[in-house]
Amino acid sequence: MQTTLIVIAVLITSIIIFRYIAMAKIKNAPMVADHEKVLTLTDKNFQQQTKNKVVLVDFWATWCAPCRMMAPVLNDVASELSGSSHVGKVNIEQYQSLAQKFKVRSIPTLILFKNGAEINRFVGIKSKEFLLKEIAKVG
């Protein structure tokens, strides 16, 4: 009985330590610069930048580790898009009004717009292949 309790205690301690290390690595993920094709969206240019095109908009924040993990994926998506399809980003810390307008409750939230109207939304980390497929459906 005592051996079983010791084994369980060691397992629980190991899980806690592993989780702490994993969270520390995620929090320390570096900020990645946006690709030159990524649109920086603001409350002033949002309507104009999403009009007459397909735009996948990333609602993000600097303190959000999953958002930092999505940045390279979005850069890859932006580099592969052509024509009237684009990737845009909204920093919800700077443009809270846009996050409220589109009812963004958690981040990262990706909203796909066509001609300024919301077509679909995705919450959390998504793959490049998934996002390209969803954009192709609308484009």
> How many Cβ atoms sit within 10 Å of the Cβ of residue 134?
17
Q: Is 25 a catalytic residue?
A: no
66 vs 104: CA distance, rounded Å: 15
What three-state secondary structure class fits 37? Answer: coil
25 vs 19: CA distance, rounded Å: 10
**Catalytic-role residue among 29, 32, 64, 119:** 64
The first and second tokens of residue 87, run together, are: 């990737």
Q: Is 33 a catalytic residue?
A: no
Task: Write the DSSP symbol of residue 62.
Answer: T
**Catalytic-role residue among 67, 73, 81, 112:** 67
From 50, 61, 69, select the one nearest 107 (Cα to Cα): 61
Non-local (6+) Cβ contacts of 80 within 8 A are 128, 132
Catalogue the active-site residues: 64, 67
